[in-house]
Structure 1
Amino acid sequence: MSRINRIWSLIEDVTSGLLISVAALLTFYNVFMRYVFQSPVNWVSEVVRFMVIWGAFIGAAVALRENSHIKVDLLYAVLPRPMKKVVSLFANTVGLMFSLFLIWQGSILVSFVKARGQVSFDVEIPMFLVYLAVPIGGLFLAIRFLERIYKIFVSPQTKELGDGER
């Protein structure tokens, strides 16, 4: 399982990192063109927006994997170990349910937009490709929440409950 996890982690890292990095480079390019040559490139801001959307949805799964989401763990830190398991299981189950909701509603949104043939204004990218970030991001999150729930049941150590440090 660790080999599959490493490959999946690499896919998440490279995809989200590449999307955000290229978006930053394109933004720099557009600023350079606008202020140095007084010739802004219209399509750049639209493409950057789409790349950031995709990067953020995939990056949310990376943050979950790295336990980097914002949380208040003051109460969690003083709970006895059995209660930590219960709280972790509850929190990760709610996260999984939210991820499944994103997949379900995102798929409906993608179907709706695809059926209407909507395209973006400047680049004329089919908008269903942009909205596809919602169900795919939900899938990436669901996989990570399932991983955390699995660890709650198999790990004897508190820090592996899905809410501790990695």
Structure 2
Amino acid sequence: MSLFKIVSDSLFKLEKVIVIILLPILLFSLFADVLFRYALNSPLLWAQEISLFTFIFASFIGASMSVKVKEAVAVTILVDRIPVSLRNILIITGLLTSLLFTLLLVYLSIKWISNPTILYQKSVTTQIPMIIPYLSIPIGMFFMVIHFVHLFMDSLRQAKEKKVIE
């Protein structure tokens, strides 16, 4: 078992825990917001921000999880109709391109949130430092990089063994 697989599998377990924590917070804050806004006619100012921030984090973590389980959105009409050897090359090239693009996003997001104007921003109602929700981008993308590295290395191994990459 490769080190990349161990790290990717462990990270996937952590991602599950994070999402299991975030989704009930999201649902509770949305339910409370709707209840107070429409039933009690007294909107909660904090509920929209909390639900938005948890939704953003859960989305980026969920995107990373979809890469791990190979359920990310893909158009495979061309790949499904070509010979196995060319198919493997296309899949490996696609994984490498996705890995490099995700690495670029990690770099750019870290550069962006390192900006002093971002570091000192606070949310309007809850006064949460905006760095917290903004961290969802580099964290989610970094997790995705780890999963892409694992998939890329596994695909190279499968291609070397003349297996069909899925």
TM-score range with shorter-chain normalisation?
A: 0.7 to 0.9
1:68 maps to 2:74: no
| Number of the residue aligned with 2:143 | 140
Alignment of 1:155-166 (within 5 A): 155=158, 156=161, 157-158=163-164, 161=165, 164=166
Q: Could you tell me whether the CA contact under 8 Å between 1:113 and 1:128 is conserved in 2? A: no
1:28 maps to 2:31: yes
Give the drift of 1:7.
2.3
| Number of the residue aligned with 2:90 | 87
| Number of the residue aligned with 1:51 | 54
Structure ranking higher on relative contact order (CA contacts 8 Å, 6+ apart) = 2
The unaligned stretches of length 5 or more in structure 2 are none
Query: One-letter code of the match for 2:47?
Result: V
Name the TM-score, length of structure 2 as normaliser.
0.88
Q: Distance in 1 between matches of 2:53 and 2:16?
A: 18
Q: Distance in 2 between matches of 1:85 and 1:18?
A: 38
Query: One-letter code of the match for 2:132?
Result: L
Give the drift of 1:33.
1.6
Equivalenced residues, count: 160
Superposition RMSD on alpha carbons, in Å? 1.7
- Deviant stretches of 4+, over 2 Å: 1-7, 113-116
Change in 2 beyond 3 A, CA 1:95/1:17 = farther
- Fraction of identical pairs, as percent: 24
Q: Distance in 2 between matches of 1:40 and 1:138?
A: 34
CA deviation string 1:66-92 (max 9, x = no partner): 222221212111222211221111111
Query: One-letter code of the match for 1:68?
Result: E
Structure 2 counterpart of 1:130, from 121, 133, 136: 133
Q: Distance in 2 between matches of 1:106 and 1:64?
A: 19
Change in 2 beyond 3 A, CA 1:50/1:115 = closer
Q: Distance in 1 between matches of 2:55 and 2:132?
A: 13
Name the TM-score, length of structure 1 as normaliser.
0.88
Q: Distance in 2 between matches of 1:57 and 1:42?
A: 24
